[in-house]
Each structure stands twice: as C-alpha cells, then as structure tokens.
Structure 1
Amino acid sequence: MAKNKNLYRLLLICGIGLFSSFSGDPVRDRVQKAYTAEIGVREKTGHNDGIKVETYLHYVGLPKGNPWCASFVCWAYGQASVKNPKSGYCPDLFASRYVIYKRGIKINNEAPQKGDVWGLYFPEKGRVAHVGFVDEWQSKYVITVEGNTNDAGSREGDGVYRKRRLTKSIYVVANYIDKR
C-alpha cells in the first residue's frame, strides 16, 4: 500500500510539472508575479522613501531619496532570479545585447512580452529616463507595471502602478529573461 501511495505521489508530481511546462514560461510568470505583487506600493512622504521603496533602492546600492523606477525593475528581476544590472540608472537596463525593440522596430523580429523592460526617452535629458515592465504588449497600447510613477504617468511619481501607455511612446524594450 505504501508503494502505491508513493507511486501515486510521484505520478501526480510529474503530471503537475508536465502541465506547468505547457502553461507558459515559468520565468516570465515568476517575474510577473514579483512585479504585480507590488502594485499599490506608495512612498511614505512623497520623497522617494518608505519601507518598500527603500528596499528597491537598497537592492541596487542606493540610499533613500533617489529616483527608483529602475531599482524597482532590477529588484523584481532579482526576486525571480533573473540576472540584471542591479542599477538605479535607467540607461543601464538597455545594453545592446538585451535590446529587442527600438523606436518602433523589432530587432531580430522579437516581439516584446510580459516581463520585458521598456524605456521612455526624454529629450530634455538626452536619454531614457523612465522604465517599467511590459505586462501586455498590444498593437496600439502597452499595459505596464512601473514604479516611481503616478496616475498621470509621471517619471517622478509616488508609487507602483499598472498603466496603459501608447505603444508608439515606448522608445526601447529589453529582454533579460530569454537572454540569460
């Protein structure tokens, strides 16, 4: 009887493992779980502070008070065991080997997907100055999850939000998940 129970457990475990391998990319699912769990996090005083915000900043070696959108992205990747630059500087997330989309053009015909990181270009800064996660890429819109933003989509906001942005507003996308 004990042998039958053990055999049953083994078959059940194998079956679950087999099923989960067909239910999507487990790494992308872990990344998505990490970043969506943070939706609703808010700064304590509106000055890039608070327990969770400071956790994101600490992950990349920065003190409270610093902008934290890139820190949030790197922290979420770290929670899902995805190698990342561990940087709070937005341009560091777009090393050429990871870039799959730039200025409306897919590179190597790769389409952005959940868990990829996107960046917005700010001409006044001359660089990408706000980043977040692709949660769903559509032809006209991207559903995002991003830190240090607000309801208006600012790059200097107060929390982690799910947003809807125009696809054409996205300057660059990087894939850290498949480029491991």
Structure 2
Amino acid sequence: MARQRPGGGPSTPATVALDRAGIAYSRHPYDHDPATASYGLEAAEALGVEPARVLKTLLVDTGKGLAVGVVPVDGQLDLKAVAAALGVKTVTMADPAAAERSTGYVVGGISPVGQKRALPTVLDDTAYAFDVVYVSGGRRGFDIGLSPTDLASVTRAVRARIGRG
C-alpha cells in the first residue's frame, strides 16, 4: 500500500517524480465511486473545479509504440490532431491492458507523470488558459494540481490543439 504523505494523498510514482524534479504541486485525494461513468468528471466535481481544468491521460498507439495525449475531461481526443503533433500518419487508441503495462498505472488512474517509461506526450493547448490544472496522481480518487508549464516540463510534452469539445 502507498504511504500517506503530509498534505493528504498517497505517495505514488507521480508524486515521487514531481518531488525529485522539484516541481510544486498540490495533492487532492477524494472518495472515488467505482460505479462512476466518468472518472474525470467525478474528479472535477469532487475538486469543485470546472471540468476544463481537469485533464485526462489517454494513450494512443502510433504503430511504432505508445504515446500520451492529455486533454480536458469534458472533451475528446482528436486522433488526427494527435498524430500530426507526434509527426506520424495515424494513431489509434491503445489497448487498455497495454496502457496499464506501459505506464504502471490502472485505467482511470493513469497519470501523465511518473510512468514506467517516458512516452512521447502531447498536452492540449487549452490547458495553458489556467494557472493550475489537475491530472491523475496515479490512482483513482487522487489528483494532483500543478501549472501546465510544469506539467509539460516534467513530461517533456509538446503543446498542440489535440482536444475537441
């Protein structure tokens, strides 16, 4: 079991990576309902923030490996836009089991930070409209808040318009 840290929430690979990188972030544990239809919208409601500030981490298959798209929870990932941002012809959504194996996280708790292997990452341009955005902290019911610039830095993400409402 992950150990609890001051400020609430567990210690996860995401929090360890942020601590090591010296990046300021906030911890936001909340009671997760396993029956929820949308993990991201559940997080937005639990955190009391608009869904556009809460980002979901989606893995895609480029045909040569996996990559990450990070978009608001109230939108969808534009596969053509992600492919263009990654410089490949096409992408498809990654198999959930492959996403879990690659990241070390479970679906619904996949963080863009602290994955087992660093994957090419694209952060949706809309994230930069906010001082703080929220992403999974590495488990269901636990989000972390940080600046989009810091998120891009720690994940080495490129910035592109990859979401659609």
Which of these two proteins has the greater Rg computed from alpha carbons?
1
TM-score (norm 1): 0.28
